Structure 1
Amino acid sequence: MSAPSRLPAHSPSCMGCGPENASGLQLEVYRDEDRVFADHSFTEKHSGGPGLAHGGAISAACDDIMGFTLWIAGTPAVTRTLTVKYRRPVPLHVPVRLTAWIDEDADHTLHIGASGTVEGETYFSATSEFVKVDLTHFARYADTSTVDSFFVNFLRAD
Structure 2
Amino acid sequence: MGCGPQNPYGFQLVVYRDGDLVYGDVTFDERHIGAPGLAHGGAVAAACDDLLGFTLWIAGTPAVTRSLTVEYLLPVPLHQPHRVAAHIASRDGRALHVMGTGTGSDGVTRFTASAVFITVSADHFAAHGDVSGFGELLARFAATAQPSPDSLGGAT
Is the 8 Å Cα contact of residues 30 and 38 (structure 1) preserved in structure 2?
A: yes
Given candidates 109, 116, 123, the residue that maps to 2:102 is 116
Distance in 2 separating the partners of 1:124 and 1:73: 24
Distance in 2 separating the partners of 1:150 and 1:24: 18
Aligned residue for 1:32?
Answer: 18
Deviation at residue 157 of structure 1 after TM alignment = 5.0
Is the 8 Å Cα contact of residues 78 and 133 (structure 1) preserved in structure 2?
A: yes
Is the 8 Å Cα contact of residues 21 and 55 (structure 2) preserved in structure 1?
A: yes
Aligned residue for 1:126?
Answer: 113
Is the 8 Å Cα contact of residues 58 and 141 (structure 2) preserved in structure 1?
A: no
Given candidates 119, 122, 140, the residue that maps to 1:135 is 122
Distance in 2 separating the partners of 1:108 and 1:137: 14
Q: Counterpart amino acid of 2:141?
A: F
- Is the partner of 2:44 in helix, strand or coil? helix
Is the 8 Å Cα contact of residues 61 and 138 (structure 2) preserved in structure 1?
A: no
Q: Counterpart amino acid of 1:76?
A: P
Unaligned runs of 5+ in 1: 1-14
Kindly provide the CA deviation profile for residues 34-83 of structure 1, in whole angstroms up to 9, marking residues without a partner as x: 10111111010111110100100000011111100011111111110111
Distance in 2 separating the partners of 1:144 and 1:101: 26
Distance in 2 separating the partners of 1:65 and 1:130: 12
- Establish whether residue 44 from structure 1 lines up as the match of residue 30 from structure 2: yes
Unaligned runs of 5+ in 2: 146-156
Aligned residue for 1:86?
Answer: 72
- Is the partner of 1:65 in helix, strand or coil? helix
Q: Counterpart amino acid of 2:26?
A: H
Distance in 2 separating the partners of 1:81 and 1:123: 20
The aligned length equals: 144
Distance in 2 separating the partners of 1:65 and 1:157: 17
Structure with larger RCO (C-alpha < 8 A, sep 6+): 2
Is the 8 Å Cα contact of residues 139 and 147 (structure 1) preserved in structure 2?
A: no
Deviation at residue 90 of structure 1 after TM alignment = 0.5
Aligned residue for 1:145?
Answer: 132
RMSD: 1.4
Deviation at residue 17 of structure 1 after TM alignment = 2.9
